[in-house]
Amino acid sequence: MRATILVDNTALFDSVLTAEHGFSMYIEAEGRRVLFDTGYSDAIIRNAQRLKVDLLDLDYIVLSHGHNDHTGGLYHLIRLFIEAIMEGTAHRLPRLVAHPHCFFPRPKPPLPDIGAVLTADEVQRVMPLDLTAAPLQLSPNLFFLGEVERTLPFEAFEPGSRRIVQPGGEEQADYLLDDTSLAYRSSEGLVIMAGCAHAGVCNTVEHARRCCGEERIADIVGGLHLLDEGAQLRGTCEYLQGLRPSALHACHCTSLLAKVALARAAPLRETGTGLRLSFGDR
């Protein structure tokens, strides 16, 4: 399995790639080509061109959750596909996989909406759409984890002012139940790929172990949504010390304070837009 980070908050040193507040990763596994999240803007298009990643040749687009820093680039991707159809450029329309809540509006006062800029109907007019809360096997060893079971008390999620608008217009507190990740069963163990890990990275690891039938953890790559000191950061560090992953690539929504703490608990590695990783297949 090979993975390339197309969008992150930082870019690797000595590169001319664009960094932004968002996340996207391109994955090649067992003959499947998967785009995991799309970043915030058209940076995904420009970075993919520089990194020689063909976004018109995808089997799946997978969204980790509905926030605009993970779904905003989808608008630009759909434009890319529409232009390819108009111009007769070689392309394959991928299947988009996400949780059923992914495209619901998300007011977060004072902001009117921090959710996806496109609706599910608008996406479905261009490409097939699978909305599922259940895990989904994308290849023999690559899994969409679906809705993550939340069992660890130190990762209890408080929605604060976050709201989600259900069909029919009812607003509810937004517990980000759509937050999910990918997991790959490599020869070295599981590779967990998270967008933001709002469900908690430790909850996500435990859920992935159950879904994939593998206990070993080779790497955790992606946003961990760890920002401040507190019970969640302390609990995460203690969990990682016991987990003993082979590597940790903390991206996107992981603060410097959190990275310093995480580096004491796990083998934290350099990351950013342009990072390429590879893992042995089973």
pLDDT given for residue 282 in this prediction:
85
Whichever domain contains 208, its CATH number is 3.60.15.10
Element (H, E) at 85: helix 73-87
175-187 pLDDT, tens per residue? 999 999 999 999 9
Q: Is 5 helix (H, G, I), strand (E, B) or coil?
A: strand
Domain that includes residue 245, residue range = 2-278
pLDDT given for residue 2 in this prediction:
98
- Contact at 8 Å (CB) between 163 and 107? yes
Rounded distance, CA 114 to CA 95, Å? 24
Element (H, E) at 43: helix 43-50
What DSSP line would sit under 213-265, residue for residue? T---EEEEEEE--B-SSSHHHHHHHHHHHHH--SEEEEESSB-HHHHHHHHHH
Neighbours of 273 (CB within 10 A): 28
Q: Which of 163, 276, 156, 143 is nearest to 210 (CA)?
A: 143
Q: How far is CA 163 from CA 80, 160, 177, in A?
A: 31, 8, 12
Place of tokens 């089973």: 282
In the DSSP assignment, the letter for residue 31 is T
Structure-block tokens of residue 45: 């298009």
Domains of the chain: total:
1
Which residues, given as ranges, of the chain have pLDDT below 70?
none
Rounded distance, CA 199 to CA 208, Å? 12
Neighbours of 210 (CB within 10 A): 11
- Contact at 8 Å (CB) between 38 and 77? yes
Beta bridge partners, 191, equal 184, 219
